[in-house]
Structure 1
Amino acid sequence: MGASLVLGIIFLVLGLGLRYWINRRKFYRRSPTGAEGFSSYEKSVIIKTSERLGKWIAYALIIFGVLFLWSYSRQKKEKEKASQNMEIQNPR
């Protein structure tokens, strides 16, 4: 298994997991009327800022994961193409 495949899967799972966790926390923080509840203004600012930063990190992880998986598929296709060319050039 290639390193790019493993990294792609890890980054993709981490990114999706982080997005899920942030959205879940936000959902359970809401009251029945739909308003978010915080115990103080400072906590509200810190939590919202950290969640916004966390979402950007999650997006970056997802993008890197997809790029690593794409890179792995390109390497695999090139390796298959090279082996087919070698087989055509050197028939048994």
Structure 2
Amino acid sequence: MVSSLVIGIIFLVAGLALRYWINRRKFYRRSPTGAEGFSSYEKSVAIKFIERVGKWIAYALIIFGLLSLWVYSREKKEKTSQNIEVQKPR
């Protein structure tokens, strides 16, 4: 039960951090006129591809983290409802 909470938090934070890092790199690569600066065409294509894949990985991490947190909340509700049923006098 606690493992899904820990995994959910770790994956959620990792996904958000990855998105932040990619967007920050993209922001600082821009010139004052708004154009991105690359030293070559090959680097431009490679970096843009890697960033696109990285964003999809970040989205997957965020979704997996949210699903893990949802599973944790469902397990917690189920456990508390079972405890209430057990404690009722017969």
Q: TM-score range by the shorter chain?
A: over 0.9
Match of 1:49 in 2: 49
Match of 1:71 in 2: 71
Gaps of 5+ in 1: none
Gaps of 5+ in 2: none
Runs of 4+ in 1 over 6 A off after TM superposition: none
Match of 2:61 in 1: 61
Match of 2:9 in 1: 9
- TM-score when normalising by structure 2: 0.97
How far apart are residue 77 of structure 1 and its match? 0.3
- Percent sequence identity over aligned pairs: 76
- TM-score when normalising by structure 1: 0.95
CA distance in 2, matches of 1:20, 1:85: 45
Q: Secondary structure, in 3 states, of the residue corresponding to 1:70?
A: helix
- RMSD between superposed Cα atoms in Å: 1.2
